[in-house]
Structure 1
Amino acid sequence: MRPWSVRRGIGSVHLLVGLAADHGIPASACLRGSHIRADSLADPLAEIEAAQELTVVRNLVRHLGHLPGIGLEAGRRYRLTAYGIWGYALLSSRTLGSATEFGIRYLDLTFAFNRFRAERRADDLRILLDDGDIPPECRQFLVERDAAAAVGIQRDLFLRPVPLRRVSFRFARPPYADRFPEYFPGPIFFGEPVHGVTIDAKWVDEPLPQADERTARLCEEQCRDLLDRRRSGARVSAQVRQHLLRPRGGTQMGGVAAEMGMAPRTLHRHLAAEGTSFRRLLDEVREALAEEMLAYRMTVGEVAERLGYAEVSSFVHAFRRWKEESPGRYRRQSPRRRREAGTRRARTAS
């Protein structure tokens, strides 16, 4: 199971849809296939699966991935207050160092897809990003977004930019490299072994202007309760996805329900309570797997068979509904798509 399997707030999707709208892309195009209702974006308490946000990211990259630095532009929108109680916990922390430690410990309450790790050294603090779990087609966008958002959080904590000793990215220098200094106030290097930012020790130990020990303790209690609730609520929909993703996993509701130790009617009731259905989950999994298989040059017939379709025509019909194009056309364009946007996939492959 991927490390970002914990449910998350809908705030990030709200920001991404806003970014798309500013570039002329309607919300319906961003939300396509995510099973997120547009009217839920305004609900501050709404929660979604990380996979649903990832679908939105895929749609955004598909429509706007050709724009230089679109990931950086997205990251700038993630102000500290967008993170709810997690953000207020950081604001009330004693120092940047303690805020960083807390933020990483409760990272599952954020919108990050990269995993963060901090290394405290004698004269600096290095914060590293691990993109190993992110699908290749979204990787550079999400590295840029999450890194820019992290540096923006540091700025919000001090109410002014925090100078960086060093900024590194694993991908090759992009054509829009001259835009990075707008987001990262320090020397920037590309083609490095790791993604990361390095901060001088004097900033790490600097007291934060809004530090408050009592508020910090209260916020941490609320963060702990929220994370426990999200983790313990082992949602039936997430379990169904895991069953469907397994090699030779069944595609019939009765078989999956039996593997989960419940009657089909009970499974249907649980999924309805979570705002989804077995058919919807099966569609989500099939769509994601179809993209991957076609990108790896499997034929349309092979993909249809692997996904459990009795007829190739049924798969073609479903794929057109998901992507508004035929699987054959999608397959033919896969190499070109990988070459576009500055050979994004080649540069970011791990």
Structure 2
Amino acid sequence: MAQLLPVAVRDWDFPRGVASVALLVRFGAERGVPRDALLRGTGLPPSRLDDPAAQVDAHQELTVARNLVREFGDPPGLGLEAGVRYRVTTFGVFGFACISSPTLRDAITFALRYLDLSFIFCLPVVELADDELRFELRDDGLPHDVRRFLLERDITAIHTVMHDLLPGGLHVRRLQFRFPAPPDPARYAEVFGFRPAFGAPAHHVAIDAASLGQPLPQASAHTVALCEAQCRELVSRRRARSGIAHQVRDKLIRVGGTLAMEDVARELNISTRTLRRRLEDAGTSFRGLLDEVRQALAEEMLATGALSVEDVALRLGYAEASSFIYAFRRWTGTTPARYLRAGKRA
């Protein structure tokens, strides 16, 4: 009988370290995209990427991914090229705990228990059967424009890290993608060692259950115990910091992105100065959250086709359409009119 393994998170909206954002920015910069273009709309100063202890909001990483996809046009396989760069060391103490685990099964169990220390967006449903371990990665809750990129990135990163854990190789039985086959699937076969199936009912990976008992070459009971203690502390600290960002975002969404910082602070019964400091501790800012909410609401309203640019500007609290157009260009790199035309062509 198949057994579902417990997973620590239920959605992708959890705080995370800055390493993944830094990696994506380097990835884009190596392909000629300026760092400022990739950080547009995140509220993150470039200096934050150099601080290994910095925390970011999941929406900030999502914005970087959207900027990256927008710059390159979302070609099939873009996520593969980003995903192969995620090594076990990219994940810091979380990665060291996995690589120090006694067996592959212990490493996977640990990873699922502390999944909110990863950078994942496509959440896994993990099922252990008699002869295989099955992962289904779900991308339903992600914006359409980055689903393929993030799915490719996440599944390739998982594959790469598992090979770091077991340098001798990992027997993958099946790999299936829900999206249609690309014109040239050769790069997929090169990355995964065989050609995946495309057009499947779900994004699905199956590995041989016999692999789970393999001892890991760098196993160390002492190291994994020390790392787990640090992971527990890190999770607790991040969750405490991130609560304020969720509260502010929820209040802004509820009123359509029209509250001032002073109004939000008053509703939370704290001073404006305290709110600003707590948001900084959480790796974000009021301006960044306001831009994020307004951008999401603007794209949603424009996509309906029922509202003019002037109507959307008014509903988001802009006195003039020109101010909204300027802000929209700053968020997305394009104007609302071009955004609408691109949506109609798609």
TM-score using structure 1 length: 0.89
Q: CA deviation at 1:152?
A: 0.4
Q: Could you list the runs of 5+ residues in structure 1 that have no partner in the other structure?
A: 339-350
1:13 corresponds, among 10, 16, 21, to: 21
Q: State the Cα deviation string for residues 278-317 of structure 1 (Å, max 9, x = none).
A: 3443223212322232233242123213312233232123
Q: CA deviation at 1:67?
A: 3.7
Contact kept, 8 Å, 1:2 with 1:133, in 2: the verdict is no
Q: Which amino acid is the alignment partner of residue 304 of structure 1? A: A
Contact kept, 8 Å, 1:166 with 1:187, in 2: the verdict is no
1:314 corresponds, among 318, 323, 344, to: 323
Report the counterpart of residue 3 of structure 2 in structure 1: none
Q: CA deviation at 1:195?
A: 1.0
In 2: Cα distance, 1:72 partner to 1:272 partner: 33
Secondary structure of the residue that 1:199 maps to in structure 2?
A: strand
In 2: Cα distance, 1:270 partner to 1:102 partner: 30
Report the counterpart of residue 6 of structure 2 in structure 1: none
Q: Which amino acid is the alignment partner of residue 14 of structure 1? A: A
Report the counterpart of residue 176 of structure 1 in structure 2: 184
In 2: Cα distance, 1:187 partner to 1:65 partner: 24
1:286 corresponds, among 270, 285, 294, to: 294
Whether 1:335 aligns to 2:337 is: no
Secondary structure of the residue that 2:119 maps to in structure 1?
A: coil
Q: Which amino acid is the alignment partner of residue 171 of structure 2? A: P
Contact kept, 8 Å, 2:242 with 2:282, in 1: the verdict is no
Contact kept, 8 Å, 2:15 with 2:238, in 1: the verdict is yes
Q: Could you list the runs of 5+ residues in structure 2 that have no partner in the other structure?
A: 1-8
Secondary structure of the residue that 2:50 maps to in structure 1?
A: coil
Whether 1:164 aligns to 2:172 is: yes
In 2: Cα distance, 1:220 partner to 1:226 partner: 10
TM-score using structure 2 length: 0.90
Contact kept, 8 Å, 1:243 with 1:250, in 2: the verdict is no
Report the counterpart of residue 64 of structure 2 in structure 1: 56
In 1: Cα distance, 2:333 partner to 2:131 partner: 54
In 2: Cα distance, 1:36 partner to 1:77 partner: 22
Q: Which amino acid is the alignment partner of residue 79 of structure 1? A: R
Contact kept, 8 Å, 1:165 with 1:186, in 2: the verdict is no
Contact kept, 8 Å, 1:163 with 1:186, in 2: the verdict is no
Secondary structure of the residue that 1:189 maps to in structure 2?
A: coil
Contact kept, 8 Å, 2:56 with 2:282, in 1: the verdict is no
Q: 1:266 to 1:84 in 2, by over 3 A?
A: closer
Contact kept, 8 Å, 2:188 with 2:195, in 1: the verdict is no
- How many corresponding residue pairs? 337
Whether 1:246 aligns to 2:246 is: no
Q: CA deviation at 1:48?
A: 0.8
Q: 1:78 to 1:272 in 2, by over 3 A?
A: closer
User: Which deviates further from its counterpart, 163-172 or 273-282?
Assistant: 273-282
Backbone CA RMSD of aligned residues:
2.2
Q: CA deviation at 1:208?
A: 1.2
Report the counterpart of residue 342 of structure 1 in structure 2: none
Q: Relative contact order, CA 8 A, sep 6+: which one is greater? A: 2
In 1: Cα distance, 2:242 partner to 2:76 partner: 39
Q: Which amino acid is the alignment partner of residue 318 of structure 2? A: Y
1:1-350 to structure 2, matched below 5 A, reads: 3-186=11-194, 188-246=196-254, 248=256, 250-264=258-272, 266-268=274-276, 270-271=278-279, 277-297=285-305, 298-336=307-345, 338=346
Contact kept, 8 Å, 2:43 with 2:285, in 1: the verdict is no
In 2: Cα distance, 1:273 partner to 1:187 partner: 44
Q: 1:2 to 1:283 in 2, by over 3 A?
A: farther
